[in-house]
A = this chain, B = another copy of it.
């Protein structure tokens, strides 16, 4: 596997110190995927995100957005107005994440009926 000219050996995903695993952990957290999918259709203000993502607590949304900003997946633009206006947008790297996340999301959607059936069967036998 080669990334921009530099040899890049596939790390051991199962090693707790593996960088890939740390990132996978981040992406897979409770809100990150939802925020990225929300920003897919264009930049959004803090309140729009907060109200648009089934009642996420502001504290948690802030944390999630700060992490995304730190990871270079989202930009945060502050307008010096009163009341304040802060606009979040995906970076190109953030946009590149939409495809894999959508793949997982679509998988989930397609398998809702089968999973629900499996759960009912499991619960009935227990």
Contacts and interface: CB of A to CB of B under 8 A. Distances in A.
Interface residues of A, number: 62
A37 B13 contact: yes
A101 interface: yes
A23 B115 contact: yes
B123 A20 contact: no
Given A20-B108, A110-B3, A119 B13 contact: no
Given A11-B112, A71-B119, A101-B104, 14 more contacts: A4-B113, A6-B113, A8-B109, A14-B53, A16-B55, A20-B105, A21-B108, A23-B115, A24-B105, A28-B29, A72-B121, A100-B103, A100-B106, A103-B104
Interface of A: 1, 3-4, 6, 8, 10-11, 13-21, 23-25, 27-30, 33-34, 37-38, 52-55, 69-73, 93, 96-97, 99-101, 103-119, 121-123
